[in-house]
Amino acid sequence: MNFRLSIHAVAVAGLGWAAIQMAAVDAFCQAPNYGPPATSYAIEAARYPDAASKPTPHVADGHPDLSGVWHHYFNGLVAKVGDKSFTLNFGQSVPTAKAGGPPAPQAMPDPEPQYKPELAAKVKRLNDNQVKEDHTLHCMPPGVPRIGPPQQIVQTSKQLVFLYADLTGNHWRVIPVDGHHSADPEEESTYNGDSVAHWDGDTLVVDVTRLTDDTWLGDNGLFHSAKLHVVERLRRVGDTIQYSMTADDPTVLVKPWTITRTLTLQPDILAEMPPCVDNDAGHYVNSEHHDNAR
Amino acid sequence: MRTKKNLTLAAATLALALPLLAHHAVSAEFNSDKIVTLKGVVSKVDWVNPHIFVYFDVKDESGKVTTWRLQSLPPLFFKGSGLTKAKLLDGSEATITAYPAKDGTDDFGFLLKLSYPDGHFYNLGGGTAPRDGTPPDPAK
């Protein structure tokens, strides 16, 4: 526990460093994952501090326009040295924000999902052995909800497409509006599940079922059952989206688990990720890993 | 000691930056207490997630070529660096430093830095490598 706390402290200190990097290098944002919480989203938001006060655009059918790139991988780790050389500077000392300097973005820890007491040992075992047990380390898709909020949304009146460029590969979801879940009881569950959406006023509500239990809810052993039911809510406010994800799995959780994010419209394109190739599996000699701040 | 400290810091910062990568530690695969220095030519590059791999041909005194397989970081880490497969594969002789594998696999390591005769370098290891840009001391 102390180790986790100390890592968390360093990670939070890193936000000050990130703020400085952002000012100097323009951009520093990161992976769409429920690991380190709001951090990267806060950094993206800090690039456009007045985004929420912009007018909220609507499409022809009157609904808010959710299209756009809302999150992408970071850059800004590179420190150029002369014309041809560079150093990746993520491992340098972590300065704290100086008085009068840019404020450190806020990182609010996510709540932990509350497992049934008898399942705590399983979470710990999976966490302790995550080098082997975490399928994303071996290039398997994180799936919903671990994949995180959509990085890009393409919206039509009849369907939305959520796009994700992830270290594990390029993933997508096609989500019909006012559609129905598959009625085929023999249809196999999938990593991103069976998603349908409807508008609740200005909020898009996405209902996800038929999720495989091969995935986790998040990092560090947060397993779930095949009975997992996910509801995402997206509400555009200016050039931001208020996003929430609620995972309900009464088989393993005491109560539904909700995560929230503020997404900020980004001007960048969502670049294709190179393929993921698991070259490491045979070379681990122990279970050493990094705990993520939560 | 400084290398160890840097490694811990890099681990923490990576956890902040990139959770999907951050779970397995460099130390789960590589011996960060030992640094090997090699002279040779890059012969192949796999530009893939979650780590790029650089293949490095090293010729011994008898002329026998050994190809080292060197793991590095995710492609996206190099965004803005100008580093490309073509640059790595330009045929130039380079000196590299790397952590060797812990599991005893021959010629397998974690790439820290490539340095070229004209003085330019690519410090891929970032915080896991000495931060002043000089090659690590192989004795450490």
Q: Residues of B numbered 111-140 whose beta carbons fall under 8 angstroms of chain A's beta carbons: which are they?
A: 119-129, 131, 133
Taking the CA of residue B69 as centre, how many other CA atoms within 13 Å lie in the half-sphere pointing to its CB? Answer: 9
Q: How far is CA A36 from the centre of its chain?
A: 9
Range name among A22-26, A78-82, A239-243, A267-271 with the lowest pLDDT average: A22-26
Q: DSSP 3-state assignment of B11?
A: helix
Whether residues B24 and A137 touch (CB distance < 8 A) is answered with: yes
Chain B residues closer than 8 Å to A289 by CB: 22-25, 28
B108 and A CB contact within 8 Å: yes
Q: What is the pLDDT of residue A174?
A: 96
pLDDT by residue (tens digit) across A10-35? 333 333 333 323 222 222 223 333 43
Which of A11, A17, A75 is nearest residue B80 as measured by Cβ atoms? A75
The whole-angstrom distance between B78's CA and the closest CA on chain A is 7
d(C-alpha A183, C-alpha B136), whole Å? 62
Q: What is the pLDDT of residue A116?
A: 98
pLDDT by residue (tens digit) across A258-277? 999 999 999 988 989 999 99
Tokens representing A40? 């990267």
Taking the CA of residue B28 as centre, how many other CA atoms within 13 Å lie in the half-sphere pointing to its CB? Answer: 22
Residue A254 has pLDDT above 60, yes or no: yes
Whether residues B15 and A7 touch (CB distance < 8 A) is answered with: yes
- Locate the domains of chain A by residue range: 2-277
The whole-angstrom distance between A8's CA and the closest CA on chain B is 8
Which candidate in B7, B18, B33 is best for mutational testing of the A interface (most A CBs within 10 A)? Answer: B18
pLDDT by residue (tens digit) across A153-202? 999 999 999 999 988 999 999 999 988 888 787 889 999 999 999 999 99
The DSSP secondary structure of chain A, one letter per residue, reads -HHHHHHHHHHHHHHHHHHHHHHHHS------SSSS-THHHHHHHHHSTTGGGS---B-TTSSB---EE--------EEEETTTEEEE-TTS--PPPPTTSPPPPP-PPPPPP-B-GGGHHHHHHHHHTHHHH-GGGGT----TTTT-S-SEEEE-SSEEEEEEEETTEEEEEEEEBT------TTPPPBSS-EEEEEEETTEEEEEEE-B-TTSBSSSTT-B--TT-EEEEEEEEETTEEEEEEEEE-TTTBSS-EEEEEEEE-BSS--PPPPPB----GGG--S--BPPPP-
d(C-alpha A264, C-alpha A239), whole Å? 6
Percent of chain A with pLDDT over 90: 54
Tokens representing A48? 């456009």
The whole-angstrom distance between A117's CA and the closest CA on chain B is 25
For residues B80-103, average pLDDT: 93
Whether residues A276 and B50 touch (CB distance < 8 A) is answered with: yes
Q: What is the pLDDT of residue A95?
A: 32
Which of B21, B101, B124 is nearest residue A283 as measured by Cβ atoms? B101
Q: What is the pLDDT of residue B11?
A: 39
Percent of chain B with pLDDT over 90: 51
Q: What is the pLDDT of residue A23?
A: 25
Question: For residue B55, what are the CA distances in angstroms to A122, B123, B128?
Answer: 40, 16, 20
Position with higher pLDDT, A225 vs A186: A225
Question: What is the DSSP code (8-state) at residue B94?
Answer: E
| Amino acid found at A152 | Q
Range name among A3-12, A85-94, B20-29, B62-71 with the lowest pLDDT average: A3-12
Q: What is the pLDDT of residue B27?
A: 73
Cβ pair A139, B50 in contact under 8 A: yes
Residue A5 has pLDDT above 70, yes or no: no
For residues A232-236, average pLDDT: 98
Domains and CATH numbers, chain B: 2-128 (2.40.50)
Q: Residues of B numbered 14-73 whose beta carbons fall under 8 angstroms of chain A's beta carbons: which are they?
A: 14-25, 27-29, 46-51, 53, 71, 73
pLDDT by residue (tens digit) across A213-223? 999 999 889 99
For residues A106-134, average pLDDT: 89
Chain A residues closer than 8 Å to B98 by CB: none
Cα torsion through B93, B96, B100, B106, rounded to 10: 0
Whether residues B28 and A82 touch (CB distance < 8 A) is answered with: no
Tokens representing A80? 């150029």
